[in-house]
Structure 1
């Protein structure tokens, strides 16, 4: 059967990215510590040479089915190299987004529950090397230092979303595991959040937050400081879902080691 997409193209225009997105596919995430099954939202794109009319999108599905059914972030560079050969492309990018849950323990009652985090793993490969990024979002409680300072009692507090992206390389594609990123983020605010709390837990968490007020700026600086000490290139974004304002407070930074 004639392969039309494999015909030559004479317009002399290369394409930066072409491929598939929005592919929902069952995967097993297994990084040696966290092993969970889920449905990932996946995209696969390649750079297309100027003399190629089209890419082989069916091969992208095959790549996902055969190589990504079990996702081990440490082995992603190998998967990307195979994909580059399979698709005969100068560069390839693979992105997988899925929720992962970690067990958290309430501070007083010791009751356990599951806290879910959005996780995205992106790998890119070209002739000049391979890069892997791991992005994790976690929620914390933040209590306003100004509110505490000016109030006779109490202080306004809210839930905050922190997103941290860690950059890896071919030699160290997964320098900080998902559960380690989660632990780092949960320690960055005024207090962590818990799905299941009893009244003694609520007392502990509320008092912990009151004793550790933080601005949104404090959150990203504290996280960045830990990452810098570990020698990690990273990007951080924090958002306070403000409880007494009609707007959110945001902050972000990027650091390259």
Structure 2
């Protein structure tokens, strides 16, 4: 088959190409270029009608290092950050650049993401912003090793973890940690009415917990604790590597432990209730149903600080 020869193009210069597609020469420069001579609208002080609950930036992606009591013990992952503070009625706005400026400074100093670091960060941020409070929240994929129950062949699973630290000059810190883990559930109703088999599905268990003031992250890995609360109450655990003997064990375990979404949230709630470092918790389970087009869900909120002896 003959090839059609194309004549080589003679392109205009890059500058001429940019002009062709709309670029124009710079206009006259009349405004100051020195920072101290530039107007600072965000620092304007007037009566701006309302105090704002939160002003800041979100969806900031940044590499982070975290520790875990499960392999891999030290890991680098990607954090998605939100930073904010309240704004007084007489303040027009906040200094957005200070959020990422401080994040980069902490990163260059080799920070490891943990609650202690986030408490230091939010207190310093509030002081830099000259505000009474500051909030830092980061969500990240947390990886952990999971072995096949029979073969013990390892692989990497992951859950979505989140830490939220709020600093208040008068009230100190509020700390929330969250985890969303994946489980297997087998339908009790299907098992009960069928001559053989039962349908199962993948479920998502999400937990949001308020930690006590005396929580010791050196002693307890909250990620591991919440993951265990979700997985140990499921029909079966999720595995990255399964050989046939492993698969037999997992499917039989699921059959022996049927669970509705209602069962899951109650059982997980019981585990969180027994954790002394948890004050308040929310649990939600969503099942991606295998024989329906809809999902099944259940949730519970419980405040242990309101218990009466």
Q: Same fold (TM over 0.5)?
A: yes
Aligned pair partner of 2:51 in 4, 14, 30: 14
What runs of 5+ residues in structure 2 fail to find an aligned partner?
1-35, 305-309
SS class of match (1:243): coil
Match of 2:67 in 1: 30
- Note if contact 1:31-1:73 (Cα within 8 Å) is conserved in structure 2: no
User: Distance in 1 between the 2:101 and 2:214 partners?
Assistant: 26
Deviations for 1:217-251, whole angstroms, at most 9, x for unmatched residues?
A: 11011111011112322111101110111111001
Q: How do 1:224-243 and structure 2 match up within 5 A? A: 224-231=269-276, 232=278, 233-243=280-290
- Note if contact 1:73-1:173 (Cα within 8 Å) is conserved in structure 2: no
- Note if contact 1:48-1:54 (Cα within 8 Å) is conserved in structure 2: yes
Higher percent of residues as strand: 1
Match of 1:114 in 2: 156
Kindly indicate whether structure 1 or structure 2 has the higher relative contact order, using CA contacts under 8 Å at least 6 residues apart. 1
Aligned pair partner of 1:221 in 266, 276, 281: 266
What runs of 5+ residues in structure 1 fail to find an aligned partner?
none
SS class of match (2:196): coil
Q: How do 1:237-252 and structure 2 match up within 5 A? A: 237-252=284-299
SS class of match (1:225): helix
SS class of match (2:91): coil
Aligned pair partner of 2:189 in 146, 150, 153: 146
**Which has the larger Rg?**
2
| Deviating more after overlay: 30-39 vs 77-86 | 30-39
User: Distance in 2 between the 1:188 and 1:35 partners?
Assistant: 27
User: Distance in 1 between the 2:104 and 2:213 partners?
Assistant: 23
- Note if contact 1:76-1:173 (Cα within 8 Å) is conserved in structure 2: no
SS class of match (1:71): coil
Aligned pair partner of 2:140 in 78, 93, 98: 98
| Deviating more after overlay: 101-110 vs 69-78 | 69-78
| Cα gap change, 1:243 to 1:114, in 2 (>3 Å) | same
Q: How do 1:35-46 and structure 2 match up within 5 A? A: 35-46=74-85
Q: How do 1:54-73 and structure 2 match up within 5 A? A: 54-67=93-106, 69-73=111-115
User: Distance in 2 between the 1:81 and 1:57 partners?
Assistant: 16
- Note if contact 2:68-2:221 (Cα within 8 Å) is conserved in structure 1: no
* 1:180 to partner: Cα distance: 2.1
RMSD: 1.8
When normalised by structure 2's length, the TM-score is 0.79
SS class of match (2:207): strand
SS class of match (1:237): strand
Aligned pair partner of 2:227 in 166, 178, 182: 182
* 1:120 to partner: Cα distance: 1.2
- Note if contact 2:135-2:165 (Cα within 8 Å) is conserved in structure 1: yes
